[in-house]
Structure 1
Amino acid sequence: MKANNQPWRVMALVIATATLLGCATQPSTTLTAADTAPEAASARTTQQLVHGQRQMFATANPLATQAGYAMLEQGGSAIDAIIAAQAMLTLVEPQSSGIGGGAFLLHYDGAEAQLQSYDGRETAPALAMPDRFLQQGQPLSYTQAVNSGLSVGTPGVLRALEMAHQQYGRLPWATLFEPAIQLATEGFSVSPRLHTLITDNQQALREQPAAAAYFLDAQGQPWPVGHRLKNLALADTLTRIAQDGVQTFYEGEIAEDMVSSVRNHPKPGDLSLADLQSYVAVERAPLCGPYRRYTVCGMPPPSSGGLTVLQLLGVLQQFPMQHFAPQSVEAVHYFSEAGRLAYADRDFYVADPAYVGIPVKGLLSPAYLRQRSALIQPDSSMGKAEPGDPMALLASLGKDHAYELPSTSHLVAADAFGNLVTMTTSVEAAFGSKILVRGFLLNNQLTDFSSLPTDAQGRPVANRVEAGKRPRSSMAPVMVFEAGEPYLITGSPGGSAIINYVAQTLVGVLDWGLDIQAAIALPHYGSRNGATELEEGTAVVDVADALRAKGHNVNVLPFTSGLQGIVITKNGLYGGADPRREGLVLAD
């Protein structure tokens, strides 16, 4: 392979060049007052379905999409584009993901027709104990747990990306960091979304000197929209990683600063150099199952995303979803009831498989799913579902209590060589632990563990904190195959609601025949085994009374999805981005 060592050029040229070459690009929209409240369901941009023939790339941030697409234009692979975009997201969307966090990704090798998954989930430090988030026997409050050194797990995203690049990268490693290094040095304009999230979290950011100095002005106020924000510290960090490889992140000065920042926090954690040096990303067999005439594949545990999406779809498969209008009371009822059953099992069984036996085959058994679907009644809600018992394990496990907060980001890529990547990446809550080190934020992913290690009966919780363990996740990057050929890739941020977002998008395309953009834009609804949740400010709220008549406890609330998706057809690629964020699809 001939290396492309041309320096990465100003990103504005990417769109201009794409337009001149006839590329289909997702149009940038003029931001309105509504966009200053991007976490509200009503804060939507105008998104259009994008068509391309050769390659396509989409993320939740235009600058990240442009950085990744530039790698594709240089002859790079899908994984090259993902790495460049992740570096850029560390800079321009720090509230959601970054090199201080973790990720799950699926990679499809077009030449070999092979699907692989990579687990870059954070791990608990070697000194972590099950009572980590307890104080005098009671769970810490949300803010005490999240905004602390206790919440920081060993970052894993760089190790996962390194592993994937060694197998499927086409461009030199250093080339992939050029866009983010350039923009970190020159500065980027604070977006309405970033400004709003800084504003919403300014008190917690003020309590962290390094974060306050970067995200707030001299008066302690959030930088205004349009302010040119430089991050020279991150430029230096990324330059070191580009030149010396990932090892320089896990050893030496950068690692020492991470450990020092965590251990010297007012509420210190116990991350160590040994934790960083010993971190290993894991290549796992993807988890696949049938839905109608398709095969749906996702991440196996410790992510609950793939398993729970498959369970939800497996239950829905018993009902004629294709005959219900997408926002009808019937569609919402059956989707929500299936969600109750799937989330009940998820909350009970799923944890790190290195520590807990998970009855995956039993949970996905067609007979078990038919048994579970029989619990759904057409005219009444079951209320709170109890976990099933596929392997007679109920007596040995306790109920989970995890903070599990919505933030995160999702990326999808299709390159000119037939390779596909779908990756969900996160620092957990907005701005993670709020601990800024050398220009990047450290995660708070350990709050995805159960805060209580045992239940009221003293039974151990599967997802309790243990040394070296990976916390359960809801991240659900998904690939769908039809007759053995890749057909759809998608995924979303959104905490535990990710599973519903992804499953609903799949139903939208596979059952209702919607294009990927229309499916992504559907008003959200579902149940996480609590209330039936309807997206605020959308037409689906109109069925609330009819649902209540069926016994549903209904909550209307905003949703913070950030779905990206690509459908692969004989006529080319079709891409969509979530109108609830500032996403961009580029293609040619």
Structure 2
Amino acid sequence: MSERKSLALTCLLLMLTPLAAIASPPIIEGERFHPEPGQHAMVVTSHTLASRVGRDILRDGGNAVDAAVAIGFALAVVQPRSGNIGGGGFMVISDEKSDQVTSIDYRETAPAGAFETMFQDDEGNVIEEASRFSANASGVPGTVSGMAMALERYGSMSLDRVMAPAIRLAHDGFAIPQRFADGLNGSRERLEKQEGTRRLFYKADGSNWRAGEVFRQPELAATLTRIAQNGPREFYEGETADHLIETLQAHGGIMTRADLKDYRAIERAPVHGTYRDYDIYAMAPPSSGGVHIVQILNMLENDDLTRMGHGSAASMHLMSEAMRRAYADRSKYLGDPAFFDVPVEALTSKDYARELRAQISLEKATPSEAIGPGNITPYESNETTHYSVADDSGLAVANTYTLNFSYGSGIAVDKAGFLLNNEMDDFSAKPGVPNAFGLIGGEANAVEPGKRMLSSMTPTIVKRDGRNFLITGSPGGSRIITTTLGVISNVIDHGMNIQSAVSAPRFHDQWLPDEIRIEDGFSPDTVRLLESMGHNVTQQSAMGASQSILINDDGFQGGADPRRETSSALGL
């Protein structure tokens, strides 16, 4: 079943079925658990087994960071298309007790041998396959370093303790959900090209795995055990590092042992903004997510979206116009702050937002060709996975990490049992040429040795009066920012409960191409009104998978996204 049909069916069932009658389906289909008020901790992930791992860590006395790290390693086992130790990502952490909000940047970096034109031919044309499906498509992985840093600084359990569930899942195996089987079968043409990947993900006789069969990963179990016993540097300097470099170099890759040894995660201050009576904390560059979430909300703040109504042509038009201006700025101003002076303060300025808002007509769309990166000088002073965790001590975690494409580069590390990312495609292979998600980049995001490639990942924590209120984020490539924006607006502007905010149909505008992309579920009348305003509207497949938590006077509520059949919200 397509994700579009699956989403429509799930939403219909939710509308027709009383909440009390919704039972947890079998493990193969994931748990649709909607906790009752009074929960004092919550875990929401894209996979039932990972949610159970996080819940059990909390039940055993761990805090939200312990649970988040355990989930990160568990997803590397049960959801290899996007959960990973061969990729990277971002984590935002809020601690009410200390009133501190921080973030861990464990984004991948370009190898030392990388150079600006490495994905161009002799005539300067971009070679798409080189940046996506070759050994040089992989940046230096950051997940193991980032998880270990978060645990060491903000967790309460040992690394071997939080990794134990993932090791068990890899060693003992788990029943394959339908989506797992469909993903491998659908990607077979690409994945079976690499002998190591074919051996890892298909049966010895060459046949496909089927839903319900038990899938074991002994090589991955051994890799995770080495890391648990010897610490994170084992991945970067030990036997796992040997396997990783030998695999890449056998395929002509430029990454070296020195690249792995030199990798470090970075703790950063998140981007902070305000929207109505709420504080927004989201990931700073090299993610563009936090900057543009704040920038778009700033443009919307003085309009009455509540009165306009969710899903109305008026609200969608205004939000679309704000989105496309933010994405235009993204094309010029966003990159790795270690290599480029990213004007965060200017882009998130309320004054700059007012200037951009003044360009927007409420009656007519602005053609994308008439929009470009703004003049900010006066103000300067789709395969990923997201999960959210919150505990009763006031600690909350929003984490988004990825291999980039589903199954990354498609290259599995020989004798180690995991896939490598293809994040090098997130650099601008050539300024002005779109990447796989249609995003335009410039010199700020050009390939350079040791540089972190620009990302759209947007783990976000919203607070009110100093208390954690909303923990959210999503996968979805270029749609991550707008998906996360939509959940925030659904809750704050339209008063939705968290499940409704997550399940509601989504739309997206990224400036180029000049279109509003919508899911199923919007009124044909709304579409006609948008087209009469000058918008190009295209209906496409489901966007994102926002696993979110809302905390209010009724307790902790989890919103598991129905766009992923294995999504699961579990509370204590």
TM-score (norm 2): 0.90
Q: Partners of 1:26 and 1:271 in 2: how far apart?
A: 50
Q: Which amino acid aligns with 1:179?
A: P
Q: Which residue of 2 aligns with 1:513?
A: 495
* 1:242/1:522 CA distance change after superposition, 3 Å: same
Q: Which residue of 2 aligns with 1:5?
A: none
By how many angstroms is 1:453 displaced? Answer: 4.5
SS of equivalent to 1:333: helix
Query: Aligned pair 1:562/2:545, yes or no?
Result: yes
Query: Aligned pair 1:349/2:333, yes or no?
Result: yes
Q: Which residue of 1 aligns with 2:444?
A: 462
Query: Aligned pair 1:314/2:298, yes or no?
Result: yes
8 Å Cα contact 2:32/2:568 also seen in 1: no
Query: Aligned pair 1:258/2:258, yes or no?
Result: no
Q: Which residue of 1 aligns with 2:80?
A: 94
Unaligned runs of 5+ in 2: 1-19, 435-440
By how many angstroms is 1:460 displaced? Answer: 6.2
Q: Which residue of 1 aligns with 2:13?
A: none
By how many angstroms is 1:379 displaced? Answer: 1.3
Q: Partners of 1:543 and 1:300 in 2: how far apart?
A: 35
Q: Which residue of 2 aligns with 1:68?
A: 54
Q: Which residue of 1 aligns with 2:454?
A: 472
Matched length: 540
How far does the alpha carbon of each residue in 1:350-379 deviate from its partner, in whole angstroms, 9 at most, with x for none?
000010111111111111100101111111
Q: Which amino acid aligns with 2:334?
A: V
Q: Which amino acid aligns with 1:116?
A: T
8 Å Cα contact 1:289/1:310 also seen in 2: yes
By how many angstroms is 1:432 displaced? Answer: 0.6
* 1:452/1:393 CA distance change after superposition, 3 Å: farther
Within the candidate set 184, 193, 210, 1:198 is matched to: 184
SS of equivalent to 2:274: strand
Within the candidate set 421, 428, 448, 1:450 is matched to: 428
Q: Partners of 2:359 and 2:36 in 1: how far apart?
A: 40
Query: Aligned pair 1:163/2:149, yes or no?
Result: yes
- Where in structure 2 are the equivalents of 1:339-378 lying within 5 Å? 339-378=323-362
Q: Partners of 1:25 and 1:584 in 2: how far apart?
A: 17
TM-score (norm 1): 0.88
Q: Partners of 1:60 and 1:87 in 2: how far apart?
A: 13
By how many angstroms is 1:528 displaced? Answer: 0.7
Q: Which residue of 1 aligns with 2:282?
A: 298
Q: Which residue of 2 aligns with 1:424?
A: 400
* 1:25/1:353 CA distance change after superposition, 3 Å: farther
Q: Which residue of 2 aligns with 1:82?
A: 68
Within the candidate set 223, 241, 247, 2:209 is matched to: 223
Q: Which amino acid aligns with 1:28?
A: S
Q: Partners of 2:442 and 2:396 in 1: how far apart?
A: 39
How far does the alpha carbon of each residue in 1:515-565 deviate from its partner, in whole angstroms, 9 at most, with x for none?
111111110112011343343432345522211111001111012411011
Q: Which residue of 1 aligns with 2:466?
A: 484
Q: Which residue of 2 aligns with 1:400?
A: none
Q: Which residue of 2 aligns with 1:500?
A: 482
8 Å Cα contact 1:26/1:585 also seen in 2: no
Q: Which residue of 2 aligns with 1:21?
A: none
Query: Aligned pair 1:409/2:385, yes or no?
Result: yes
SS of equivalent to 1:441: coil
Q: Partners of 1:574 and 1:28 in 2: how far apart?
A: 16
SS of equivalent to 1:236: helix
Q: Partners of 1:558 and 1:415 in 2: how far apart?
A: 34
Q: Which residue of 1 aligns with 2:160?
A: 174
8 Å Cα contact 1:190/1:226 also seen in 2: yes
8 Å Cα contact 2:331/2:442 also seen in 1: no
* 1:495/1:559 CA distance change after superposition, 3 Å: same
Within the candidate set 505, 508, 517, 1:526 is matched to: 508
The CA RMSD over aligned residues, in Å, is: 2.4
Q: Which amino acid aligns with 2:315?
A: A
Query: Aligned pair 1:28/2:12, yes or no?
Result: no
* 1:393/1:361 CA distance change after superposition, 3 Å: closer
8 Å Cα contact 2:145/2:232 also seen in 1: yes
8 Å Cα contact 1:26/1:586 also seen in 2: no
- Where in structure 2 are the equivalents of 1:105-184 lying within 5 Å? 105-184=91-170
8 Å Cα contact 2:197/2:412 also seen in 1: yes
Within the candidate set 266, 269, 285, 2:269 is matched to: 285
Q: Partners of 1:276 and 1:427 in 2: how far apart?
A: 17
By how many angstroms is 1:263 displaced? Answer: 1.6
8 Å Cα contact 1:292/1:317 also seen in 2: yes
Q: Which runs of 4+ in 1 moved over 6 A?
A: 44-47
Q: Which amino acid aligns with 1:449?
A: F
8 Å Cα contact 2:77/2:83 also seen in 1: no
* 1:540/1:410 CA distance change after superposition, 3 Å: farther
Q: Partners of 1:540 and 1:428 in 2: how far apart?
A: 33
By how many angstroms is 1:153 displaced? Answer: 0.6
8 Å Cα contact 2:81/2:406 also seen in 1: yes
* 1:27/1:476 CA distance change after superposition, 3 Å: farther
Q: Which residue of 2 aligns with 1:436?
A: 412
By how many angstroms is 1:427 displaced? Answer: 0.8
SS of equivalent to 1:288: strand
Q: Partners of 2:68 and 2:241 in 1: how far apart?
A: 24
Within the candidate set 541, 545, 552, 2:528 is matched to: 545
Percent identity over paired residues: 36
Q: Which amino acid aligns with 1:350?
A: L
By how many angstroms is 1:455 displaced? Answer: 7.9
By how many angstroms is 1:465 displaced? Answer: 0.3
Q: Which amino acid aligns with 2:221?
A: A
Q: Partners of 1:472 and 1:145 in 2: how far apart?
A: 14
Q: Partners of 1:46 and 1:252 in 2: how far apart?
A: 41
SS of equivalent to 1:104: strand
* 1:70/1:224 CA distance change after superposition, 3 Å: same
Q: Which amino acid aligns with 2:220?
A: L
Query: Aligned pair 1:210/2:196, yes or no?
Result: yes
Q: Partners of 2:524 and 2:169 in 1: how far apart?
A: 42
SS of equivalent to 1:381: coil
By how many angstroms is 1:113 displaced? Answer: 1.7
8 Å Cα contact 2:299/2:357 also seen in 1: yes
* 1:50/1:284 CA distance change after superposition, 3 Å: farther
Deviates more, 1:130-139 or 1:283-292: 130-139
